[in-house]
Amino acid sequence: MSGGHWLSADRSGTERMSMAKKDRTGNRKTREQRKQSRPPELGYYLIVTDTEATERCFFTGLHQALPEDVRNKLVIKVVETKTRAMIDKCLELTAYDAQYRIPWIVFDRDQVQGFDEIIAEAVSKGIQVGWSNPCFEIWMYAYFGSMPAIQDSWTCCSEFGRVYENKTGQKYSKADEQMYGKICKAGDEVKAIQIAKQKIEQCKREGKTKPSEMCPCTTVHKLVGEIKEKRKAGL
**For the segment 103-129, what is each residue's pLDDT rounded down to a tens digit?**
999 999 998 999 999 999 999 999 999
**pLDDT tens per residue, range 168-197:** 999 999 999 999 999 999 999 999 999 999
For residues 39-45, give the mean pLDDT. Answer: 86
Q: Quote the pLDDT of residue 4.
A: 56
Q: Quote the pLDDT of residue 15.
A: 46
Q: Quote the pLDDT of residue 1.
A: 43
pLDDT at residue 218 tops 90: yes
H/E/C letters for each residue in the chain? CCCEEECCCCCCHHHHHHHHHHHHCCCCCCHHHHHHHCCCCCCEEEEEECCCCHHHHHHHHHHHHCCHHHHCCCEEEEEECCHHHHHHHHHHHHCCCCCCEEEEEEEECCCCCCHHHHHHHHHHCCCEEEEEECCHHHHHHHHHCCCCCCCCHHHHHHHHHHHHHHHHCCCCCCCCCCHHHHHHHHCCHHHHHHHHHHHHHHHHHCCCCCHHHCCCEECHHHHHHHHHHHHHHHC
For residues 18-45, give the mean pLDDT. Answer: 59
For residues 195-213, give the mean pLDDT. Answer: 97
Position 40 confidence tier, pLDDT thresholds 50, 70, 90: confident
pLDDT at residue 205 tops 70: yes
For the chain, give the mean pLDDT: 87
Q: Quote the pLDDT of residue 51.
A: 85
pLDDT at residue 87 tops 60: yes
Q: What percent of the chain is modeled with pLDDT above 70?
A: 82
pLDDT at residue 220 tops 70: yes
Most confident of 26-35, 96-105, 137-146: 137-146
Q: Quote the pLDDT of residue 5.
A: 55
**pLDDT tens per residue, range 152-164:** 999 999 999 999 9
Q: Quote the pLDDT of residue 39.
A: 74
